[in-house]
């Protein structure tokens, strides 16, 4: 084990090393101002003093007068720095500080004189015996002066600025208090206490980080000293882990010597459990958040390192950090700023409505996915601020004013609502769940979240523009395809025209007739292939009064040529008419039924229902086929040119169905589960019923009553 002298010398070496590092940082960033130079002088004097005491404690080779001179020089440097700082806080008003400064300088110079060498022959022997006591009295007075200056600096500093000066006051104040006790004890007992002397080095080492923090918080001292947040957070974590391991080692030592016969079992079991607990704590997101909040709150003037946070935000939004969809990346990026574990996002759709898009690390049961957020977003367009849901949860009047829905108000897990604005357009909003560590939402949080939300909204706008451009290019390609088709049709027409012109001359020729029929057959085959490609591609604005009952009977009968055969169920015999293009509506319904047939095995079931809900006609196409997940429904089902049928499908059937139904003033709802089936619901505005018995009865074989299935 180390001897006490060696342990004390180690403390002085550590103090000298830390002050030397701080001095090097200050020297490289010094701008030449007086206050910075005085601080650099105090740090340099403290380094020299600590180095001399380290050598003196271990080897006793430095003359005592040199050590006393170093003590006085150190005190002179720190007191001059504090006097200058107090003068700056008093806005240049000298007052009584001149006399105090003069007394400090004279006292320190006198204490630095080698008394035994220069004054011994001038004083009587009795008087020279008291020189050591006079030196100690002078040092005690200087310590009291230092405490007085620290107290005056802290009191003079306005309360809103004490955050930047308090660590300097705490550090130097505790240093002066310890030295006051040290020299007063030496004066009282006529001798230096070796324990207090050996501990002074470690005491000074503990003060250096406090001085460094105050320097970092006061750039007006002419320094750009920066402390990395990540380094401080990791250092704090390592120190905490070290303290934890130290206590666990002491506990293991106690078990070893006092555990009796069970020591061999309990000691390894205890150490293993302690190590496992440490690993769990180090990988705990809540503990990391707690340390981060603590460090940024108590050690830095600003809560965020904005350069680092911005680079991290861009990396997440661009997909370099998280391989997920853009809405998920937005939720992840915003939640990481405030230590929230996750959230949900609503995004504007193509029809201008706002719909639920995605959850990140938040159960979808915590949000109302079918909530119509359009009216709420109409209000949100006039408010760009972050809404603290936790703060307004108990304020019913404010919640009603902000149009906060009940499901959002009553869920204590939801914390913040962040609007996503791109310029003046509201692209959507994000709801974050409660933070891992409770924290106050101040101006700094709100400004950073608003800025990050605008950046995220720009990514949404960019993705929307890219999607629109891609669709435009796809439609351009489709138009080129139509041009090729028209060219083929022109060739077919030319061939048929040639047959028509030659029929009168060669109609009696059997070979001509055979050749003509072969040409017509080939033309029919080619036209069928072209029609299959262009089916439902052309829009029509014609409106007819369509009898849905009769149309569904016809469509279902036509689609019955393919397995599984669809079955029609109509609730009553009331006539249901809608205003639409009959040909296009028929093609739409046939396409929906065909999609159900494609997704259902031949031994499956497909049911088509027709009913009336208030002023709307409801058409349901239900199958027990392969089904779809919610992500596919939200992101791919209605996207044009996105087909799951490979080359046999063009991917515009569902898209055209939705666009046509929306054009009629209706809507489409889809419910589906993988492996269980799908239910398409088409809501179409119905025309007023004039006669309840206007419709003719349906054929018996066209209507099949079957029991409904739940999805």
pLDDT of residue 124: 41
Q: Does the pLDDT of residue 193 top 60, yes or no?
A: yes
1 pLDDT more than 60: no
Higher pLDDT, 315 or 224: 315
Q: Can you name the CATH fold of 544-702? A: Heat Shock Protein 90 (3.30.565)
Domain boundaries 306-468, corresponding CATH code: 3.30.450.40
Q: What is the pLDDT of residue 253?
A: 66
Sign of the CA dihedral with 135 first, then 141, 143, and 146 last:
negative
Percent of the chain with pLDDT over 90: 15
User: Distance (Å, rounded) from C-alpha 629 to C-alpha 671?
Assistant: 9
Residue with tokens 């089902």: 637
Under DSSP, is residue 566 helix (H, G, I), strand (E, B) or coil? strand
- How is domain 4-226 classified at the CATH fold level? Rhopdopsin 7-helix transmembrane proteins (1.20.1070)
Q: Which residue has the tokens 């293991």?
A: 252
272-279 LR contacts (CB < 8 Å, sep 24+): 274/244, 274/245, 274/248, 278/241, 278/244, 278/245, 278/248
Q: What is the pLDDT of residue 699?
A: 35
Query: 212 exposed, middle or buried (CB, 10 Å; 0-12, 13-18, 19+)?
Result: buried
User: Above 90 in pLDDT, residue 429?
Assistant: yes
CB 267 within 8 A of CB 259: yes
DSSP letters along 291-312, please? HHHHHHHHH-SSS--HHHHHHH
Position 295 confidence tier, pLDDT thresholds 50, 70, 90: low
Q: What's the pLDDT at 488?
A: 62
DSSP-H helix ranges across 259-363:
263-282, 285-299, 306-317, 326-337
pLDDT at 468: 82
Question: Hunting for tokens 């095995």 — which residue is that?
Answer: 601
Mean pLDDT is lowest, of 196-205, 218-227, 301-310, 494-503, for 218-227
Helix (H) or strand (E) run with residue 568 in it: strand 566-570
Q: Per-residue pLDDT for 214 more than 90?
A: no
Average pLDDT (453-478) is 84
Query: Residue 638's pLDDT band (boundaries 50, 70, 90)?
Result: confident
Q: CA 221, CA 276: separation in Å to the nearest integer?
A: 46
Q: Give pLDDT, residue 118.
A: 39
Q: How far apart are CA 589 and CA 556, in angstroms?
A: 9
Higher pLDDT: 566 or 157? It is 566
What is the separation of C-alpha 73 from the centre of its chain, rounded to a whole number of angstroms?
52
Q: Are 149 and 82 in contact (CB under 8 A)?
A: yes
More confident residue, 235 or 277: 277
Task: Choose among 322, 328, 377, 390: nearest CA to 349.
Answer: 377
* Contact present, 168 and 211 (Cβ < 8 Å): yes
Q: Give yes or no for residue 35 having a pLDDT over 80.
A: no
pLDDT band of 456, cuts 50, 70, 90: very high
291-313 mean pLDDT: 69
Q: Which pLDDT belongs to residue 698? A: 40
pTM of the model: 0.46
- Dump pLDDT digits (tens) for 598-614: 889 988 999 999 988 88
Predicted confidence (pLDDT) at residue 68 exceeds the cutoff of 70: yes
The DSSP secondary structure of 396-429, one letter per residue, reads HHHHHHTT--HHHHS-TTEEEEEEEEETTEEEEE
- Centre a 10 Å sphere on the Cβ of residue 443 and count the other Cβ atoms it contains: 7
- Between 34-48, 92-106, 182-196, 505-519, the lowest mean confidence (pLDDT) is in 92-106
Asked if residue 647 has pLDDT above 50, the reply is no
- Average pLDDT value for the chain: 77
What is the per-residue pLDDT for 475? 74
| Residues 520-531 pLDDT 10s | 777 777 677 667
């Amino acid at each position: 084990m180390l001897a006490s002298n060696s342990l004390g010398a180690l403390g002085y070496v550590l103090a000298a090393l830390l002050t030397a590092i701080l001095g090097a940082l200050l020297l490289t960033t010094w701008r030449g101002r007086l206050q910075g130079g005085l601080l650099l002088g105090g740090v340099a004097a403290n380094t020299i003093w600590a180095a001399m005491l380290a050598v003196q404690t271990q080897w006793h080779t430095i003359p005592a007068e040199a050590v006393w001179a170093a003590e006085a020089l150190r005190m002179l440097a720190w007191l001059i720095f504090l006097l200058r700082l107090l003068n700056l806080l008093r806005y240049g008003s000298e007052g009584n500080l001149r006399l105090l400064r003069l007394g400090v300088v004279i006292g320190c110079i006198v204490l630095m004189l080698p008394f035994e060498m220069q004054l011994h022959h001038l004083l009587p022997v009795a008087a020279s015996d008291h020189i050591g006591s006079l030196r100690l009295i002078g040092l005690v007075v200087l310590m009291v002066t230092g405490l007085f200056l620290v107290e005056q600096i802290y009191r003079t500093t306005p309360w809103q600025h004490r955050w930047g000066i308090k660590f300097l006051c705490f550090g130097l104040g505790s240093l002066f208090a310890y030295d006051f006790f040290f020299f007063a004890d030496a004066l009282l007992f006529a001798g230096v206490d070796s324990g207090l002397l050996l501990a002074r080095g470690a005491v000074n080492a503990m003060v250096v980080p406090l001085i460094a923090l105050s320097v970092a918080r006061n750039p007006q001292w002419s320094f750009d000293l920066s402390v990395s947040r990540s380094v401080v957070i990791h250092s704090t974590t390592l120190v905490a882990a070290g303290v934890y391991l130290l206590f666990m080692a002491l506990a293991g030592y106690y078990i070893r010597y006092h555990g009796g016969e069970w020591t061999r079992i309990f000691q390894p079991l205890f150490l293993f459990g302690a190590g496992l607990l440490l690993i769990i704590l180090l990988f705990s997101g809540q503990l990391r958040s707690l340390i981060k909040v603590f460090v940024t709150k108590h050690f830095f003037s600003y809560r965020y390192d904005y350069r680092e946070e911005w680079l991290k935000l861009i990396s997440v939004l661009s997909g370099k950090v998280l391989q997920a969809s853009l809405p998920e990346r937005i939720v992840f990026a915003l939640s990481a700023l405030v230590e929230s574990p996750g959230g949900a996002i609503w995004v504007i759709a193509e029809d201008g409505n706002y719909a639920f898009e995605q959850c990140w690390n938040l159960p979808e049961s915590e949000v109302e996915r079918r909530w119509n957020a359009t009216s709420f977003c109409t209000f949100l367009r006039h408010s760009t601020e972050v809404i603290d849901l936790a703060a307004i949860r108990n304020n019913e009047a404010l919640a009603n004013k902000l149009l906060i829905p009940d499901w959002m108000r009553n869920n204590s897990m939801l914390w913040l609502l962040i609007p996503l604005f791109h310029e003046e357009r509201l692209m959507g909003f994000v709801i974050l769940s409660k933070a891992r560590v409770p924290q106050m939402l101040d101006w700094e949080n709100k400004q950073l979240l608003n800025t990050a939300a605008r950046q995220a909204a720009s990514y949404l706008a960019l993705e929307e523009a890219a999607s629109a451009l891609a669709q435009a290019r796809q439609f351009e390609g489709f138009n080129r395809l139509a041009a090729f088709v028209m060219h083929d049709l022109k060739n077919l027409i030319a061939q048929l025209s040639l047959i028509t012109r030659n029929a009168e001359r060669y109609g009696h020729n059997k070979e001509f007739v055979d050749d003509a029929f072969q040409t017509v057959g080939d033309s029919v085959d080619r036209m069928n292939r072209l029609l299959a490609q262009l089916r439902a591609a052309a829009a029509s604005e014609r409106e007819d009064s369509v009898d849905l009952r009769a149309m569904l009977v016809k469509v279902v009968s036509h689609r019955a040529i393919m397995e599984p055969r669809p079955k029609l169920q109509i609730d009553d015999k009331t006539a249901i008419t809608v205003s639409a293009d009959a040909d296009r509506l028929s093609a739409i319904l046939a396409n929906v039924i065909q999609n159900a047939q494609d997704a259902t095995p031949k031994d499956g079931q497909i049911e088509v229902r027709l009913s009336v809900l208030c002023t709307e006609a409801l058409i349901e196409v239900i199958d027990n086929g392969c089904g779809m997940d919610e992500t596919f429904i939200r992101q791919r089902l209605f996207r044009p040119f996105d087909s799951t049928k490979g080359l046999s499908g063009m991917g515009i059937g569902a898209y055209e169905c939705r666009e046509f139904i929306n054009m009629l003033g209706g809507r489409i709802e889809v419910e589906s589960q993988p492996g269980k089936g799908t239910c398409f619901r088409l809501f179409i505005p119905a025309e007023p019923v004039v006669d309840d018995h206007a419709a003719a009865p349906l054929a018996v074989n066209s209507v099949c009553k079957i029991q409904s299935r739940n999805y």
